[in-house]
Structure 1
Amino acid sequence: MKSKSFARNYALLICMLGGIVGGCIAGAIWPCIKDDSGTVLRAGATVLKPLGSVFINLMFCIVVPMVFSSIASSVANMKSRKRAGKIMGTTIAAFVITGAVAAAIMVVLMKLVPPVLVPWQDIPAGTVDEQKTMAELVVSFFTAEDFVSLISRKAMLPLILFSMLFGFGVNLNGGSESLTAKWLEDLSGCMMKVVKLVTYYAPIAFFGFFADLTATYGASIAADYGRALAVYYPLCFLYIFTAFPLFAWFGGGREGVKTMLRHILRPAVTSLGTCSSVATIPTNMEVAEDTGIPKDVSEIVVPLGATMHMDGSCFSCVLKIAFLFGVFGQPFDGVDTFVKVILVAVLSSVGMSGIPGGGYIGEFIMCSIFFPNQLELAYPIAITIGNLVDPPATMINSAGDYVVSFVVARFTDGKDWLKKASGQK
């Protein structure tokens, strides 16, 4: 029975890992070749990219109705509106605190191991779109122009806020006994089943993703980028195996650490394969349910975390700032500078979209604050670093959403919530 259980629980995960390894090998053997002007002479394994694009497009189609139904259903069926407010307040506080801790860790590391030792010379200029005002950025973060714009993966934070408002509206209009609340709960369950069907295709998708990634970037990383990545990648994995267990221990005690380590691999691998916090929402919801995290907690923490919980992005934001300080020959020191860097890292990470490349707005904010006179040079450099560190950053962002659920569950359901959940299984 145990061997069958092991095979049932880990067969798909092993296939996913196999797809990643196979994709890396294919990309290394069959690289993309370009001439000095950047013209592609041989596409190589990049022709396999559509295999991954199919998967992520399916996930993006699923995630909009899933986020709406799960959050609206959770709020609509709340027995206590006070509890809903407590969950959201605790969640946001946890996101801000963990993000600040991550940024502070990276500041110290960048001071000890600067990513750029010699300033760059003859940097080519890039092009920058027209800068938005702060008021315009705030409006675009939290609202959409109309309902059609709202039901899009590009408007995840406005969608989340609308889902909460809709859920409160249903709660005030009959709550869990209303037909709308029952429909939302049923829709949420149906979407979870659809996710399981799409997940069977994941190994093939991951093969395509990593074949394209390796074929494109495998041999094109310069010395300074390589130095930055050599610091960033190990830090991400070290953070997972040190900070995450601490968060899980605080949220669920010793058993919380064991439970977290048993389940963390699935969202971590999914986020690595998709480079998307949003696309990892369904997997995080599944492992949260398997863990026994209260449903109303996971249905708020996980979707909200996809756009607001960005520890990995805080890491990368500090890395980009330190990198650019070195590129332009500016000293990266001083308490005022470090405090400003931490604040910008946390604030620019909150509200970022969970889609691949969603940090572009945050990168623009960061560059406009620290390098306003070199904006056309700093922005494309920051984007390049962002693309190279996107996989591990997304892994920390996404898997961390699941871990923070432990902390929120402790504040909402008491320190023995995991024991009670285990006893009910």
Structure 2
Amino acid sequence: MTEQKKTQSVWKSYRFPILLISSIIIGSIIGLVMGEKATVLKPFGDIFLNLMFTAIVPLVFATIASAIGNMLNMKRLGKILGSLLAVFVVTGLIAGVIIIFIVTIYPPAAGVHITMEAAGEMEAVKLSDAIVKALTVSDFSALLSRQNMLPLIIFSIMFGFCISACGGKESAVGQVVNNLADIMMKIVNIIMMYAPIGLGAYFANLVGEFGPNLLGAYGRAMLVYYPVCAAYFVVFFSLYSYWAAGKDGFRRMWKFILPPAATSIATQSSVATLPVNLDAARNIGVPKDIREIVLPLGATMHMDGTIFSTLLKIAFLFGIFGKPFTGFGTFASAMLIAIMSGVVMSGVPGGGLIGEMLIVSLYGFPAEAFPIIATIGFLVDPPGTCINATGDTIAAMMVSKLVEGKDWLKMNLTKDEE
């Protein structure tokens, strides 16, 4: 192959990620130069985000319902769900151990003195109510909101089961749902044509308006969190993808993971990144039923980045109030709160704030501590969301190996070629 053909081949394979990254870099430069004036570009970013959000509810419903409805082999579904749970737990525990180790040797609040403003009275947080709200809604119309993703997913799973029980993909409703899933993916492809403009504008606004806030009192905490997220993305995602499918899995992961990574950082939403993740997983070679079950569930239940940030917030508050963040009991309770924040609270509207209130109340910190970790939550959101969202695609690769064996990628790429 000549050099010119090689260059053309590389450009053809990576042109969209290159275009997205270039637009983000240009947007960031514009934000630095314009400062707060860059907020004039915010509407262009909001248009992209709103388009994504409007596609989410029908996309999640159609992909999950069609994936399960087409599955006449319920044993395979059980294997997918069991493997999914195992992968989510294992990667979450690994993330938790990593951040606990880091904050132990490099305390994020060492030498930090923050003047606390009175936060006023906080509403009591009842865990049982939070769990009910995370899993269910009181009216069907509430399912049509992206704010209620877990109830929507549960309903979609039930709907898919009933399609399978009433004729599967050959039934009239099964055919409609399958067609709807294809249509929604086409809509997402159209929306993504606007992504370079939307993401560039979004980054210009983010850097222009909030860039200076990354300096100052919270700088040390950010010096912990940002490198940890970057290292986890590069090192552990590489290891996970290699474990899932060897060298081919490693190569294909890096070939297709950048668009969802860029989208998640800009939108700061795992849900908004879901359509791009589904496309990336399809390009990587993840089987259709696996990606359409793992990714929507992962968008609300697989939150390694949230585990990072929750443990960072807890360690930060311990340092601020002079409490030692040591001992197995302290680490175990912190890990439990982190997993709850990553799984249960992520499905509740305003779940991040509820998780932060839980940290303050369960550890007995004063109410004035709430704005401290709320600010940290805002600052760590972009890289944390990136780990949350892109980690779902990596998890789908790992689930594929557990369900279909070590040669799953070769088998599925061969099917696609046929």
Alignment TM-score > 0.5, same fold: yes
Kept in 1: contact 2:221–2:312 (CA 8 A): yes
Q: Which of 17, 24, 41 is residue 20 of structure 1 equivalent to?
A: 24
Kept in 1: contact 2:41–2:205 (CA 8 A): yes
Tell me the residue number matched to 2:330. Answer: 337
Tell me the residue number matched to 1:420. Answer: 411
Does 1:47 pair with 2:51? no
Give 1:13-412 correspondences, 5 Å limit.
13-32=17-36, 44-118=37-111, 120=113, 122-127=115-120, 129-353=122-346, 359-370=352-363, 372-374=364-366, 376-412=367-403
Deviates more, 1:294-303 or 1:199-208: 199-208
Q: What do residues 72-111 of structure 1 show as CA deviations (whole Å, max 9, x unaligned)?
A: 0001110211211221121122112211110111011001
Change (3 A) 1:352 1:138: closer
Measured in 2, the distance between the counterparts of 1:255 and 1:121 equals: 49
TM-score by length of 1: 0.92
Deviates more, 1:200-209 or 1:304-313: 200-209
SS at match of 1:359: helix
Q: What do residues 260-301 of structure 1 show as CA deviations (whole Å, max 9, x unaligned)?
A: 122221211111121110111111111111122111000000
Give 1:148's aligned amino acid. Answer: S
Kept in 2: contact 1:348–1:366 (CA 8 A): no
- Flag as ranges the 4+ runs of structure 1 deviating above 6 A: 354-357
Measured in 2, the distance between the counterparts of 1:422 and 1:68 equals: 26
Equivalent pairs: percent with the same residue?
Answer: 44
Measured in 2, the distance between the counterparts of 1:308 and 1:227 equals: 29
SS at match of 1:103: helix
Measured in 2, the distance between the counterparts of 1:207 and 1:62 equals: 21
Kept in 1: contact 2:148–2:349 (CA 8 A): no
TM-score by length of 2: 0.94
Q: What do residues 338-375 of structure 1 show as CA deviations (whole Å, max 9, x unaligned)?
A: 111112111221034479975222222222222x341x
Change (3 A) 1:215 1:97: same
Measured in 1, the distance between the counterparts of 2:191 and 2:350 equals: 23
Give 2:35's aligned amino acid. Answer: P
Change (3 A) 1:57 1:121: closer
Gaps of 5+ in 1: 33-43
Measured in 2, the distance between the counterparts of 1:198 and 1:355 equals: 27
Change (3 A) 1:132 1:356: closer
Kept in 2: contact 1:128–1:379 (CA 8 A): no
**RMSD between aligned alpha carbons?**
1.9
SS at match of 2:271: coil
Change (3 A) 1:15 1:249: closer
Q: What do residues 113-158 of structure 1 show as CA deviations (whole Å, max 9, x unaligned)?
A: 1111236364111245522312111100100121111111100111
Measured in 2, the distance between the counterparts of 1:76 and 1:302 equals: 17
Q: Would you tell me which structure has more helix in proportion to its own residues?
A: 2
Aligned length: 412
Cα distance, 1:222 vs structure 2: 4.5
Cα distance, 1:166 vs structure 2: 0.7
Gaps of 5+ in 2: none
Q: What do residues 7-43 of structure 1 show as CA deviations (whole Å, max 9, x unaligned)?
A: 34433322221221122222222223xxxxxxxxxxx
Change (3 A) 1:355 1:141: closer
Measured in 1, the distance between the counterparts of 2:122 and 2:50 equals: 27
Does 1:10 pair with 2:3? no
Deviates more, 1:348-357 or 1:84-93: 348-357
SS at match of 2:212: coil
Measured in 1, the distance between the counterparts of 2:26 and 2:151 equals: 38
Give 1:31's aligned amino acid. Answer: G
Measured in 2, the distance between the counterparts of 1:384 and 1:136 equals: 25
Measured in 2, the distance between the counterparts of 1:275 and 1:141 equals: 20
Kept in 2: contact 1:119–1:328 (CA 8 A): no
Measured in 2, the distance between the counterparts of 1:341 and 1:399 equals: 24
SS at match of 1:280: helix
Kept in 1: contact 2:148–2:348 (CA 8 A): no
Kept in 2: contact 1:229–1:389 (CA 8 A): yes
Change (3 A) 1:419 1:131: same
Change (3 A) 1:265 1:232: same
Measured in 2, the distance between the counterparts of 1:22 and 1:129 equals: 41
Change (3 A) 1:305 1:128: farther
Change (3 A) 1:127 1:4: farther
Give 2:407's aligned amino acid. Answer: D
